[in-house]
Amino acid sequence: MKKLIALMLAALLVLGLAACGETAAPATEPAETAAPAETAEPAAPAEEGKTYTVGICQLVQHDALDAATQGFKDALTEALGDAVTFDEQNAQGDSPTCATIVTGFVSNNYDLIMANATPALQAAVSATTDIPVLGTSVTDFATALNMDFAAADGTGINVSGTSDGVPGQLYADLVNELVPDAQKVSVLYCSAEPNSVVQAEDFIPCMEAYGATCEVFTFADSNDLQSVVTTAIADCDAMYIPTDNVAASNMTIIRNVCEPAGIPVICGEENMCGAGGLATVSISYYDIGHVCGEMAVQILTEGADITTMPIGYASDPVKEYNADYAAAIGFEMPEGFKAIGE
């Protein structure tokens, strides 16, 4: 009996081993069918499906900055289509709000930050040393960053962008052309705008070379603007206002004081002039925004090194005038000026 049981167990063991051998063999077959899975690997184009999130911090809403932001977005959308998403926020003229906005961008680890106007740029630079920061509508990057560098060589840090700067000599030439007998020129800007100081300091010596005396009038915000403008026009032949964001947002106030007095107001850019000035030597803010957007595309998709990217500038400025303002103060424009809006 014991022998019979032993024989039966041995037979079962052999059958079991045979069964294991049968199931093991098919296990090697999927290894041969694994090749098709590897062919489905064209994943490397996952780079093609890459998406980008760009934070935009704009200091304040007015036509010039709005145009720069639109140009920036258009350039990115033209190149990347739906692959780029924008988080666009406006600080409503409040610098501390710029800091809050860009801190949120950094916390969300956005791919790039665009800072529109100097306070927005300064806030972004303070918030990150890693995320690429592109500024636009910034007159002088060295002043804004409190650094010494050649614009053509880049900043050496995670910042570049496009400038709205126009040489002060061109504005002085404009004043001299329109008011050749000008003896006194009032220079008006917001004391909180460092780039306005730079523009004024560039303009004044050029104007003095024409034999005119310049007096600076600064205001803190829109609350004291009317009284400062009223004082500024009391004894002047013309007024110059640089590309000052606070002034640009309040040109109606300036116009309401200057127009009845018949003061020729020379503005830093087209939109300011159209809202309440006589003439300007203007660049296109849409164009500098677009160039800034093209720089962003290079950084995001081509790995361009922002630390060595030169600061960009607009093409040749154009002499323009506000036909309504000229008519209101009885001013006949000379040849060579383009009417804004035409």
Percent of the chain with pLDDT strictly greater than 90: 82
- The reply to whether 85 and 186 lie within a common domain is no
How do residues 319-330 score in pLDDT, each as one tens digit? 999 999 999 999
Q: What value does the mean pLDDT of the chain take?
A: 88
Going by their DSSP bridges, the two strands 279-282 and 318-321 should be labelled as antiparallel
pLDDT band at 341 (very low <50, low <70, confident <90, very high): confident
The DSSP call for residue 82 is G
Residues ≥6 apart with Cβ < 8 Å to 193: 118, 244, 245, 246
Residue 101 within any structural domain of the chain: yes
Domain enclosing residue 152, as ranges: 50-164+284-308
Helix (H) or strand (E) holding 57: strand 52-58
Residue 25 lies in a domain: no
Q: Are residues 91 and 206 in the same domain?
A: no
* Residue 260 belongs to some domain of the structure: yes
How far is the C-alpha of 213 from the C-alpha of 204, rounded, in Å?
Answer: 8
175 & 291 share domain:
no
Q: What is the C-alpha to C-alpha distance for residues 280 and 275, in angstroms, rounded to an integer?
A: 12
- Asked whether residue 69 falls in the same domain as residue 133, the answer is yes
> What pLDDT score was predicted for residue 257?
98
Contacts of 267 (CB under 8 A, 6+ apart): 241, 251, 273, 276, 277, 278, 279, 280
**For 199-245, how does the pLDDT look when each residue is reduced to its tens digit (9 = 90+)?**
999 999 999 999 999 999 999 999 999 999 999 999 999 999 999 99
Taking only the tens place, the pLDDT of each residue in 48-68 is 789 999 999 999 999 999 999
Instruction: Decide: 120 and 59 in contact? Cβ < 8 Å.
Output: yes
Q: How many domains does the chain have?
A: 2
Q: Rounded to an integer, what distance in angstroms lies between the CA atom of residue 228 and that of residue 118? A: 23
Q: Is residue 34 helix, strand or coil? A: coil
The secondary structure of 98-149 as a DSSP string is HHHHHHHHHHTT-SEEEEESHHHHHHHHHH-SSS-EEEEEES-HHHHHT---
Give a yes or no: residue 10 inside a domain. Answer: no
CA distance 170 to 206: 9
Q: How many Å apart are CA 73 and CA 88, to the nearest integer?
A: 10
CA gap 342, 331 in Å, rounded = 19
Per-residue confidence (pLDDT) for residue 25, from 0 to 100 = 34
Please report the pLDDT score of residue 342 as a whole number: 79
What single letter denotes the amino acid at residue 291? V
Same domain, 152 and 71: yes
Tokens for 11, please give them: 């037979």
Measure the CA–CA gap between 287 and 311, rounded to whole angstroms. Answer: 14
pTM: 0.77
Which pLDDT belongs to residue 247? 96
| Residues 275, 172 share a domain | yes
Strands 184-190 and 213-219: parallel
Question: Do 93 and 195 have their domain in common?
Answer: no
- Residue of higher predicted confidence among 166 and 3: 166
Cα dist from 152 to 115, 181, 194, whole Å = 20, 38, 22
Give domain status of residue 8, yes or no. Answer: no
| Amino acid identity at 70 | Q
Residue 129 included in any domain: yes
Query: What band does 47 get if pLDDT is binned at 50, 70 and 90?
Result: low
Residues 94, 192, single domain; the answer is no
Q: pLDDT for 90-127, tens place per residue?
A: 999 999 999 999 999 999 999 999 999 999 999 999 99
CA atoms in the 13 A half-sphere facing the CB of 263? 30
Rounded distance between C-alpha atoms, residue 86 and residue 74, angstroms: 11
| Residues 6+ positions from 339 with CB-CB distance below 8 Å | 320, 321, 322, 323
- pLDDT greater at residue 68 or residue 6: 68
Between helix 63-80 and helix 285-302 the angle, nearest 10°, is: 30
Whether 122 and 232 share a structural domain: no
159: domain CATH number is 3.40.50.2300
Q: Is residue 41 part of a domain?
A: no
Residue 29 lies in a domain: no
Q: Are residues 130 and 180 in the same domain?
A: no
pLDDT for 303: 96
Shared-domain flag, residues 79 and 178:
no
Instruction: Please indicate, yes or no, whether residues 204 and 326 belong to a single structural domain of this protein.
Output: yes
From first CA to last CA, the distance across the chain in angstroms is 116
318-321 vs 184-190, strand pairing mode: unpaired
